[in-house]
Structure 1
Amino acid sequence: MEPSVTSLPKDPSSLWSIHRGRSPLIGTAIHDGHLIWPHLEARMALDEAGRLREEDPFTAQFIADMANRMVVHRSRFELDLNRAPDGAIYLHPDQSWGLRVWRDQPEAQDVEALMRQHASYYSTLRHILSDIEAEHGGFVLLDMHSYNHRRAGAAALATSQDEAPDINIGTSSMDRARWAHVLDPFIDRLRQHKLGGRSLDVRENVAFAGKGEQTRFVHEHFPQTGCAIAVEFKKIFMDEWTGEPDEAAIADLREAIRSSLPVLEAALDARR
């Protein structure tokens, strides 16, 4: 079966899409993308299905109800925007879950172009966040990702629930005490939501601790006004081996996020 991918933009040179609204909340899906520059794809050893398995398809749908959102259309195997520049290109298997990404590594000029792409994203993000900060006095950024839980194979046992919550909240770079009034109601609201007749299992820093570059960047540059929350969805909304989506689960998880937005706005307002 051919892998399923998110709806790609018509322009294969697309970097990211931005939707700007009037809200102190912003969502990002920086690993949703699947596009790769053709001349770089020709140098890759990892095939499309292997790339898709470690990308975060459909995560853009979880932020579709947010007034502010940024969706990256490039594959993390071209450039991982959630890593610092010196590790954003997976040049060695120990950077990419043991996967050999490149048959022939990118040339120096391509690396330089990708580093400019990385810098451009963070320059754009900083500008948008500064704009939201100026308008609202502070903001919450929901940094959407997903993770695999059937790494041993499609027919193998899944990772135990103890080690793999439905939603993992990552907070390692956050001043937890400062933002508890925002984070705790957000987690509580997600836990109230049901998926397949049961309440969502939402826990903090279990499968991941939220050590990505984007949340670190936000907390470094907006230490008093920016709360960045890494939200990792276990891939219970798709088949991680074929890429096929579970549309009903995606809709349920999107609704869980949508229902949390008034909670986040109220928490921000309470401290102004």
Structure 2
Amino acid sequence: MGDQGAADRIVEFVGDWQGQVVATSVHAGHDVRPDLADLMVLDEAERYREEDPHTDRIAAVVPDRVVTHRSRFECDLNRPRREAVYRTPDDCWGLKVWRDAELPDAQFEGSLATYDAFYDALGERLDRVAERGPFVLLDVHSYNHRRDGAQAPPAPVADNPEVNVGTGSVDHDLFEPLVARFLSDLRAGDLAAGPVDARENVAFEGRNIAWFVHDRYPRLGCVLALEFKKTFMDEWTGDVDETALERARLALAAALPGLAEELGRLDG
């Protein structure tokens, strides 16, 4: 990555990476390469709505974390490689992203290079974490709950918790006590002026970040894929509620000591 500015880097590591709890926020970025920007016709506000703005600020309560500035519309780092580049509308919720019917081969290959560079760098860093013993990666995302329109009622709370904790590929035989402790500690926090509605695998179970870690580090890596409902911002205007965002940050921060304790038991 050399001396490039942070926004030009594919992946940036923050912290000393000496702890066993780390975080990612791979959909927080908004930047795209200039050759992609020249071809992009998707309205910027619509692109922003499908990204996960401010999740990097939530993840920042974890000292050791990955910062990615690139948009998921350049390369979706939480999808398998074969699905990671949105070439046609069928790849991304029917949205027309590119001026032509399909993203050209040259740009497609450039975006796959983004994908490979990210996972190469992440794997190299996590290899060192795993050498020390079990670890947790908090994969922080957000999700829309007002898809019917700015003036329409939000999606039902029954199917849309404030925080969805995805554990679909976690080794539950080993990590179940840790998962249960995390959910308990997270629920004890204060989000939206009350206890946190945190539930497991309601709508999201975790995708490629989780699969990558669980395949590469069996019985060592545990990914908790966190989807924060966008009650901390207006998903249609992009306006952020700083008070609500800070509550989300504090709720997650309050659950970190419990993760450290549970990891200590596993490594004891």
The match for 1:248 among 243, 246, 250 is 243
Shift, 1:64, TM fit: 1.3
The match for 1:50 among 46, 53, 62 is 46
**Residues 271 and 11 (structure 1), Cα distance of their counterparts in 2 relative to 1, 3 Å cut:** closer
Share of identical aligned residues, percent? 41
1:109 and 2:128 aligned: no
Aligned to 1:225: 220
Residue range with higher mean Cα deviation, 102-111 or 84-93: 102-111
Partner deviation per Cα, 1:104-151 (whole Å, 9 max, x = no partner)? 2332222222212111111111111111112x3121000000000000
1:214 and 2:217 aligned: no
Q: Assess if the C-alpha contact under 8 Å between 2:11 and 2:121 holds in 1.
A: no
The match for 1:133 among 124, 130, 136 is 130
Q: Assess if the C-alpha contact under 8 Å between 2:21 and 2:137 holds in 1.
A: yes
Q: Assess if the C-alpha contact under 8 Å between 2:35 and 2:107 holds in 1.
A: no
Return the alpha-carbon distance in structure 1 between the equivalents of residues 183 and 192 of structure 2.
19
1:160 and 2:156 aligned: yes
Return the alpha-carbon distance in structure 1 between the equivalents of residues 163 and 209 of structure 2.
18
Partner deviation per Cα, 1:151-174 (whole Å, 9 max, x = no partner)? 000010100000100000111111
Aligned to 2:86: 90
**What SS is found at the alignment partner of 1:203?**
strand
Give the 5 Å matches for 1:1-272.
12-21=7-16, 22-104=18-100, 105-134=102-131, 136-210=132-206, 212-272=207-267
- Give the alignment's TM-score, normalised by structure 2: 0.94
Return the alpha-carbon distance in structure 2 between the equivalents of residues 203 and 89 of structure 1.
30
Return the alpha-carbon distance in structure 1 between the equivalents of residues 91 and 105 of structure 2.
19
Partner deviation per Cα, 1:152-202 (whole Å, 9 max, x = no partner)? 000101000001000001111112222112111001111011123211111
Return the alpha-carbon distance in structure 2 between the equivalents of residues 103 and 93 of structure 1.
11
- Unmatched segments (≥5 aa) in structure 1: 1-8
Shift, 1:10, TM fit: 5.7
Return the alpha-carbon distance in structure 1 between the equivalents of residues 167 and 155 of structure 2.
22
Return the alpha-carbon distance in structure 2 between the equivalents of residues 120 and 11 of structure 1.
15
Return the alpha-carbon distance in structure 2 between the equivalents of residues 233 and 197 of structure 1.
15
Alpha-carbon RMSD across the aligned residues, in angstroms, is 1.4
Give, as a single letter, the amino acid of the residue that structure 1 aligns with 2:221. Answer: G
Shift, 1:12, TM fit: 4.7
Return the alpha-carbon distance in structure 2 between the equivalents of residues 165 and 260 of structure 1.
17
Residue range with higher mean Cα deviation, 80-89 or 110-119: 110-119
**What SS is found at the alignment partner of 1:36?**
coil
Shift, 1:13, TM fit: 2.3
Shift, 1:230, TM fit: 0.4
**What SS is found at the alignment partner of 2:231?**
coil
**What SS is found at the alignment partner of 1:256?**
helix
Partner deviation per Cα, 1:191-237 (whole Å, 9 max, x = no partner)? 01112321111111112122x11100000000110001100000010
Deviation beyond 3 Å, 4+ runs, structure 1: 9-12
Return the alpha-carbon distance in structure 1 between the equivalents of residues 140 and 37 of structure 2.
25
Return the alpha-carbon distance in structure 1 between the equivalents of residues 197 and 41 of structure 2.
37
Return the alpha-carbon distance in structure 1 between the equivalents of residues 192 and 116 of structure 2.
41
Return the alpha-carbon distance in structure 2 between the equivalents of residues 249 and 138 of structure 1.
32
Return the alpha-carbon distance in structure 1 between the equivalents of residues 226 and 158 of structure 2.
17
Number of paired residues? 262
Give, as a single letter, the amino acid of the residue that structure 1 aligns with 2:225. Answer: A
